[in-house]
Structure 1
Amino acid sequence: MPFEETDYHPYDFANRRHIGPSPAEMAQMLDVVGVGSLDELIEETVPPSIRQAEPLDWGPALSEQAALHKMRVVAGRNNVFTSLIGQGYYDTVTPPVIQRNILENPAWYTAYTPYQPEISQGRLEALLNFQTVVCDLTALDVANASLLDEGTAAAEAMALAQRASKSKATTFFVDHNCHPQTIEVIRTRAEPLGWQVVVGDPFKDLEPESVFGAIFQYPGTYGDIHDFSEPIARLHEAKALACVAADLLALTLLVPPGEMGADIAIGSAQRFGVPLGYGGPHAAYMAVRDPFKRSMPGRIVGVSVDARGNRAYRLSLQTREQHIRREKATSNVCTAQALLAVMASMYAVFHGPVGLKAIAQRIHRKTVRLVKGLEGLGFDVETGSFFDTVLVNVGAVQGVILNAARAEGINLRKVGGTHIGISLDETTRREHTQAVWRAFGGDLLDRDLDRDHRLPENLIRTSSYLSHPIFHMNRAEAEMTRYMRRLADRDLALDRAMIPLGSCTMKLNATAEMMPISWPEFSRIHPFAPEDQVEGYRDLIGDLAKKLCAITGYDEISMQPNSGAQGEYAGLMTIRAYHLSRGEAHRNVCLIPVSAHGTNPASAQMAGMKVVVVKSAANGDVDLEDFAAKAEAHSDTLSACMITYPSTHGVFEETVRKVCEITHSHGGQVYLDGANLNALVGLSRPGDFGSDVSHLNLHKTFCIPHGGGGPGMGPIGVKAHLAPFLPGREGGAGMVSSASYGSASILPISWAYCLMMGGAGLTQATKVAILNANYIASRLAEAFPILYKSATGRVAHECIVDTRVLKERAGVTVDDVAKRLIDCGFHAPTMSWPVAGTLMVEPTESEPKAELDRFCSAMLAIAKEAEDIAAGRMDPENNPLKRAPHTVEDLVGEWDRPYDREAACYPPGAFRVDKYWSPVNRVDNVYGDRNLICSCPPLDSYDEAAE
């Protein structure tokens, strides 16, 4: 041979895609950690008693090309029909400038929840725009920065009404014209809390004195448009609250809920440029009257000021959130749908109020023309006034028409045995209208171009909306592209630097895994499309579920929960249904360690369970003696325990099997939080060591990106005895989200990850995640205590760095460390959780040694600066730590600080050429909560804030 053969293939490098350190770098890191091999480290870290017997194996890993080809074949088994089914889901046009620069841009989809506001100003502005769109269109005072879907938003509205109304009733009224899936989710959420749900006609069946609240659909699921002012007034007289589930696009033409007197408005922003995606992800919204803002679930973006008095955005009223309120929380919302809310907000910026209204008018005119044709064919269109949806009485020929429509490539909605629903959208073209007429038996030409409308005259909107200048910017593509780029440049996302968040697993979201979500075969499928049109989705979901079962040791998977918190809730509701089936409804106690994720106790409370808190031992483990005593004390009523493994403290607890045994011996079920599954895949299976159910954070361990706070997917795996009680099954937990497969369109990401890694690659990724964490722990131990380690001195995939020593020596707080890390070009690790005043670091397997070293250099330099303060070499108040983060504005004019500019702006770890500059100085949190502004303020108010 003229040359030496190599085994390198340029497109077959699974381990070099997802696994950061090279083999040579791993050898250096292992030397620092003090072990001879990766397997030796794992032997010292993962207890032998829980190690899985057989390796993961479902065949060889696929190259990117092979995986994408396989996904193309599977996608081709989906049939993309024109779905005029409606029911809250509509095809829409995603402007290409938004698709490319938001949805497909890692600067947006790899960002974390904006808890560090200084490095999140871009996405916070985009989310503030979203809130403004919602407030303006609903005519209500305060909106949140998105919820999960319309059904769960309606359930959250019910819970808000129950806690905020002054009514003593325990019944919630639901308009019979609400979407069927919304009614089902409301019923699921109400049942464990002891609330009754009455479904009926708001104008005939509503008895305000007997309810704490009511929800009305506007327009109704079959298209009817009603004025709800009168039933809302009656509710208020009875001290109950009124919610309206409203179509945002319809509100450009119709009187908004706030002008009817509604207290709450909810709905979906899906048709603002967010693809159907077989049900999600989509951004739901909620808006409320001002008195209820502190009771509203979800995140609220507010306007504050920074240390210089300049405008700065932040998350406001954070003490409302579940991670703080725990079992006292009224909602377990954690993941929102931030990326999709950003898309929807940009859609509104792109079109502006005039453009949105024009889209709505065109849809309505198309619907009027469709109706005129149907009436001309002799059909009874029962919807008198409508926006985009009508109900047609077709009698005995329903099946014939539905089949004829499908032959034309169109899905219509089957309603009962004699009616058909039709919903048009902005993608509806003339040929679609003509095809529907042909399905109804008429070969008509769409030549009726008059401007007739069939909106109720008394409900035509006259009030203005979207008056802020941002919605009137020059919408040339150049300007739109630059606006989105400017916002992205203000943020620090995973495409710039490591985001070492403990328990949030911010790992690589590989490009090849992301690509399929934009394919129309996945993105343009309606969630209620006929089964024979979604064979590709069925294949994908089935194979992914099979692989997840192999990974976890569970027997079945439900893909319905569309967030990790929803997964927790679904898992607990599955356990509850299991106990009910055995005649043990009295089992309602849930044991939860004090160190648990804040969503755990909130989810248990929502599932109707009583939370009993278990102590932590001195080493951070679950206090086994306290756990056993409380299990014994509640033996007759024990429903479940909720544990996290590896522990929230970042250690593989040796006693996990014992915890499971104790729980089972008292008749309870074990719920294992899957947040830390990134330390288990390929090494240990929860279903093997005693767990009965877990949720899996696909937006963490399985590479779905965090998207600035969402999307998420939290499917649950269960052992066989719980499978009959999964969500949506008869006698099971009930529907926990609007679509049967949650946010189905992002499942291709996790499937591609499994295909391209293979079982061996996934196992190697877990080992390297543990190596990276132990490497950081070893390097930082010279300056910071590592709070918890195993008996062998090892941490799992994350470690808690105790920065309280800096507070004791130099008055430097964990906040000071977090803000100084911004100067170094890093997102801070998880702050003050699970231990106040500490940082929990999780580097993941994706980070190469150079990035780990850069982070360690930054942390060690921060410790050195603190020592300089303690030794009197730096002013205790006027120093780089207290004044961080530093901005370009700090460099303008005279420099009057007792430390030099270079020390301020280029600390160890910071890049010289590609330095990230925070756009604002430290944000004033107190000012933001005392002066709450959570929609786009007028420009002159920015000047006032700076004074």
Structure 2
Amino acid sequence: MGFGGPHAAFFAVTQKLQRKMPGRLVGVSKDRLGNQALRLALQTREQHIKREKATSNICTAQALLANIVANYAVYHGVDGLRNISRKVFGSTSILAGEILANSKHEILNKTWFDTLSVKLSGETSDSFLEKAVSQFGINIFKVDESTVQLSLDETVTKEDLSALVELFTGEKKEINTDDLPEFPEEWTRKDSILTNPVFNKYHSETAMLRYLYSLQQKDISLATSMIPLGSCTMKLNATTEMIPITWPEFANLHPFAPRDQAQGYLELITELEQDLAEITGFAKTTLMPNSGAQGEYTGLSVIRQYLEHKGETSRNIVLIPVSAHGTNPASAAMAGLKVVPVKCLSNGNLDLADLKVKVEKHAENLAAIMITYPSTYGLFEPTIRTAVELVHTAGGQVYMDGANMNAQVGLTSPGDLGADVCHLNLHKTFAIPHGGGGPGVGPICVAEHLKDFLPKHPVAETTNASIETAINPVSAAPFGSASVLPISYAYIKMLGGNNFPYASVMAILNANYMITVLMNSLLT
């Protein structure tokens, strides 16, 4: 959905590996009275002193999407999910049976649940796809010149199935979906699933709505209170920004749909990329990363590819101030780079003397420095230009963490300060709701010399599709969490270039007002 996202991803491990999983882990334990308790464990990140050994750069948790998936199971329950599975398998089996019995096409996969891969006979994939769209309004995936693939789900109607049978067999046929093929007994789970009572209570729309409302009443929100979130700034979300993400034209488009069916989306994406590049003072943007941490990894991967393209393969050192966000060193480790920490002064500013020592020591192997500006302390580094110049003189690149970009927009920019790449948190600075941890969008913007290294995609066309130096995709979808991009697009268009400085000044003014009041209260 949503032209590729947002979507939640899940993975599981054996018990012996569970403490190696990245991110936040919640385990069941007991309290001192013997009652059930939940414990939160954090994987190596900013809570560890030795950040150069950080391994987890997971930041945005896509919690909103995880809740959608969970509530899908709550609403349908065990019986509902089984009925959906039977319908999907049954419909797919009917189509497979018709193709095998009444066409010369070959089904390559001998077993299936919802997906058929079909080797065409007597026509090319391109002509078949053109016929599917022009005559039946159906999109099929092209695997190669003679192979196509399609997947069915619970939304497929009897009319859809009849059209698919006619497409593959050439025969008009009334399909009976009242008596579906039986789900294979050997695939049927014998163990108990979804045993919590919550999965057996809320199976009507009104019951489900009341349940969700009771849950949201227990949460704090920006509508009821100020939420202290450090230097990260959330924004209230205007109705005009939010409504478009519910429109089916945005919400229900497949990421690999033919590009002539996605012209509106592509226009929005192109304009947003250009706006973000202008705001950051850079040459080009990619919207592919799904979170700020993934943006960090992407930016460092672009830098590494650029250096390798120049033949400077020995450059593998990244300098990271100890005040940096914990995902910085973890992202560097994921990108195959070695982290060297840089000290900070007692007031939180970068220790320029220590930076000079580290730059000189690692000059031949220096790949980049990662600087958060304003810093995690919420301060504008007064020595930022000197730091940038030191690293550039040694042949390194400057990565600017855009976590606190909220204080820069319209006043200055990473490009103006001399940086080479930055990531942005659209779920902070550009109004996308954080949703309990997600969805997040962490695009990166790069200077002119790095633009040909931004990621490409093997299936979907992007601006770097034909550029050999472009890195491989960092997300399954070409434009990341595309369905929430209308929020940032509308925010930027409605605020307008003239008002961005005003919004930033107000944020800075409010922060300074708060610190003045707090300091005065401490003094009295």
TM-score under structure 1 normalisation? 0.52
**Aligned partners of 1:301, 1:494: CA distance in 2, in Å?**
25
Structure 1 residue 762 displacement after superposition: 1.7
* Contact 2:91 2:177 survives alignment (8 Å): no
Q: How does 1:588-667 map to 2 (within 5 A)?
A: 588-667=316-395
Q: How does 1:209-228 map to 2 (within 5 A)?
A: none
* Corresponding position of 2:481: 743
* Contact 1:579 1:587 survives alignment (8 Å): yes
* Corresponding position of 2:172: 443
Provide Cα deviations, 1:562-597, integer angstroms capped at 9, x if missing partner. Answer: 000000000000000000000111100000001000
* Contact 2:52 2:340 survives alignment (8 Å): no
**Aligned partners of 2:23, 2:325: CA distance in 1, in Å?**
16
* Corresponding position of 1:84: none
Q: How does 1:511-910 map to 2 (within 5 A)?
A: 511-728=239-456, 729=464, 730-784=468-522
The percent identity for this pair of structures is 50
* Corresponding position of 2:117: 391
Amino acid in the other structure paired with 1:546:
Q
* Corresponding position of 1:362: 87
Structure 1 residue 526 displacement after superposition: 0.6
* Contact 2:45 2:56 survives alignment (8 Å): yes
Q: How does 1:262-411 map to 2 (within 5 A)?
A: 276-303=1-28, 313=38, 316-318=40-42, 320-325=43-48, 326-378=51-103, 379-397=105-123, 398-407=125-134, 408-411=136-139
Q: Are the structure 2 counterparts of residues 448 and 281 from structure 1 closer, same or farther at C-alpha, using a change threshold of 3 Å?
A: closer
Structure 1 residue 475 displacement after superposition: 2.3
Amino acid in the other structure paired with 2:115:
T
Q: Are the structure 2 counterparts of residues 311 and 477 from structure 1 closer, same or farther at C-alpha, using a change threshold of 3 Å?
A: farther
* Corresponding position of 1:184: none
**Aligned partners of 1:474, 1:687: CA distance in 2, in Å?**
52
Provide Cα deviations, 1:748-803, integer angstroms capped at 9, x if missing partner. Answer: 00000001100122211100000100111111112348xxxxxxxxxxxxxxxxxx
**Aligned partners of 1:324, 1:732: CA distance in 2, in Å?**
34
Q: Are the structure 2 counterparts of residues 530 and 473 from structure 1 closer, same or farther at C-alpha, using a change threshold of 3 Å?
A: same
Amino acid in the other structure paired with 1:739:
A
Amino acid in the other structure paired with 2:414:
P
**Aligned partners of 2:144, 2:441: CA distance in 1, in Å?**
32
Amino acid in the other structure paired with 1:562:
N
Provide Cα deviations, 1:125-155, integer angstroms capped at 9, x if missing partner. Answer: xxxxxxxxxxxxxxxxxxxxxxxxxxxxxxx
Amino acid in the other structure paired with 1:405:
A
The root-mean-square deviation of aligned C-alpha atoms, in Å, is 1.9
Quick one: which of 460, 466, 483 aligns to 2:211? Answer: 483
Structure 1 residue 484 displacement after superposition: 1.4
* Corresponding position of 2:460: none
Amino acid in the other structure paired with 1:391:
S
Provide Cα deviations, 1:507-528, integer angstroms capped at 9, x if missing partner. Answer: 2122221111111000101111
* Contact 1:641 1:670 survives alignment (8 Å): yes
* Contact 2:74 2:202 survives alignment (8 Å): no
* Corresponding position of 2:461: none
- Alignment of 1:422 with 2:150, yes or no, is yes
Q: How does 1:121-200 map to 2 (within 5 A)?
A: none
Which sections of structure 2, spanning at least 5 residues, go unmatched? 457-463
The count of aligned residue pairs is 508
* Contact 1:394 1:418 survives alignment (8 Å): yes
**Aligned partners of 1:491, 1:500: CA distance in 2, in Å?**
14
Provide Cα deviations, 1:497-547, integer angstroms capped at 9, x if missing partner. Answer: 111211221221222211111110001011111111111111001111111
* Contact 1:368 1:453 survives alignment (8 Å): no
* Corresponding position of 1:510: 238
* Corresponding position of 1:254: none
Amino acid in the other structure paired with 2:491:
Y
Q: Which runs of 4+ in 1 moved over 4 A?
A: 303-314
SS of corresponding position for 1:284? coil
Q: Are the structure 2 counterparts of residues 287 and 423 from structure 1 closer, same or farther at C-alpha, using a change threshold of 3 Å?
A: same
**Aligned partners of 1:312, 1:478: CA distance in 2, in Å?**
31
**Aligned partners of 2:35, 2:300: CA distance in 1, in Å?**
46
TM-score under structure 2 normalisation? 0.93
* Contact 2:291 2:440 survives alignment (8 Å): yes
SS of corresponding position for 2:47? helix
Amino acid in the other structure paired with 1:608:
G
SS of corresponding position for 1:561? coil
Amino acid in the other structure paired with 1:450:
D
**Aligned partners of 1:771, 1:461: CA distance in 2, in Å?**
59
Structure 1 residue 306 displacement after superposition: 7.8
**Aligned partners of 2:334, 2:212: CA distance in 1, in Å?**
38
Amino acid in the other structure paired with 1:623:
D
Rg larger in structure: 1
**Aligned partners of 1:448, 1:651: CA distance in 2, in Å?**
65
Amino acid in the other structure paired with 2:55:
T
**Aligned partners of 1:502, 1:784: CA distance in 2, in Å?**
20
Provide Cα deviations, 1:9-37, integer angstroms capped at 9, x if missing partner. Answer: xxxxxxxxxxxxxxxxxxxxxxxxxxxxx
* Corresponding position of 1:94: none
Amino acid in the other structure paired with 1:669:
Q
Q: Are the structure 2 counterparts of residues 522 and 384 from structure 1 closer, same or farther at C-alpha, using a change threshold of 3 Å?
A: same
**Aligned partners of 2:428, 2:444: CA distance in 1, in Å?**
14
Structure 1 residue 289 displacement after superposition: 2.0
Amino acid in the other structure paired with 2:41:
L
Structure 1 residue 375 displacement after superposition: 2.0
Q: Which moved more, 1:757-766 or 1:699-708?
A: 757-766
SS of corresponding position for 1:636? helix
Amino acid in the other structure paired with 1:685:
S
Q: Are the structure 2 counterparts of residues 664 and 450 from structure 1 closer, same or farther at C-alpha, using a change threshold of 3 Å?
A: same
Q: Which moved more, 1:361-370 or 1:285-294?
A: 285-294
